[in-house]
Chains A and B, each alone.
Chain A
Amino acid sequence: MINNIPIVHFLIVSALLFAIGVAVVITKRNAVVVLMGIELILNAANLNLVAFSQSDNALQGQMFALFVIVIAAAEAAVALAIIVNVYNHYKTINLDKVNQLKD
């Protein structure tokens, strides 16, 4: 298509999604919701990549984004396994209570 969306729009949407994802990660107390925020962030990055690969002959951006999706899925799986373990151990997944890392 010759008339395509100016790239700035993609970038702005991506920045928006990124900021919202950051806000979700910082704010929410439930670990699963934090995970959702992380997914949002990843997707924002993906959008950015894909937007820039519009003009690419070799589709590098899309390849990158593909791999990101796959790895994000794997990471979500492992993260959820850990969360389930944490839940079984601490009987809570409230991130305020799971603070054994403190000094």
Chain B
Amino acid sequence: MRQEVLLFYLFATLAVLPAVALLVTNKVVYAAYLLLISLLGVAALYVFAGADFLAITQVMIYIGGVIVLLIFGIMLTAKTKDSPTLIVNSKNTAIAIVLALAVFVVLIMAILSNQFMDKMETVVRKTTLSLVGKNLMTDYAFAFEATGLLILIALIGAVYIAGRQIIKKQQ
């Protein structure tokens, strides 16, 4: 096989295997880090698909923001009345396996039933950055602004929801 494909398989494994491990583990902190690695793998796969800007964005936002947020969340909700949540048991494994397998099978069959071309006409660019920027300002300007508004609302909302408890404590 060609090198690209091998590398692809490597990074694919890097994306999938931590996910499987995330499924299996019962330690929450491990889960967080495994997610981190998985997202990293996905970012690598983005590069393979020619989306360089997106890959960097993924790394920055997801790993820099979301994972950190998740870890903070874990820290804040660590102590509970019963067992500490750092150890998580799973349940419903049978149903889960069945269902997940069912979903996977359905999707695979849907995919494989289509004849995709082995080689398709991909567009070669040096980088997607300028195109993304241009799109953001022209075609997707509304979505851009709306997303900004959404982030503002989410920010306010999150502060409010999480801040209520502080106000209560101060009372």
Assess the B66–A73 pair: CB atoms within 8 A.
Answer: yes
Our pick among A4, A17, A43 for the contact of B119 (Cβ within 8 Å) is A4
Chain B interface size range: 35 or more
Assess the B8–A5 pair: CB atoms within 8 A.
Answer: yes
- CB neighbours (8 Å) of A78 from chain B are 154, 157-158, 161
CB distance from A30 to the nearest CB of B (A): 4
Q: Is B74 interfacial (CB 8 A cutoff)?
A: yes
| Chain B contact surface mostly | helix
Assess the B42–A81 pair: CB atoms within 8 A.
Answer: no
**Interface hub of B28, B97, B111, B119 (most chain A Cβ within 10 A):** B111
**A6-B161 CB under 8 A given contacts A67-B147, A93-B77:** no
Assess the A50–B122 pair: CB atoms within 8 A.
Answer: no
CB distance from B80 to the nearest CB of A (A): 5
Assess the A54–B49 pair: CB atoms within 8 A.
Answer: yes
Name B residues whose Cβ lies closer than 8 Å to a Cβ of A.
2, 4-5, 8, 12, 15-16, 19-20, 22-23, 28, 31-32, 35, 38-39, 42, 45-46, 48-51, 53-54, 57-58, 61-62, 65-66, 69-70, 72-74, 76-77, 80-82, 85, 88-93, 95-97, 99-101, 103-104, 107-108, 111-112, 116-124, 128, 131-132, 135-136, 139-140, 143, 147, 150-151, 154-155, 157-159, 161-162, 164-165
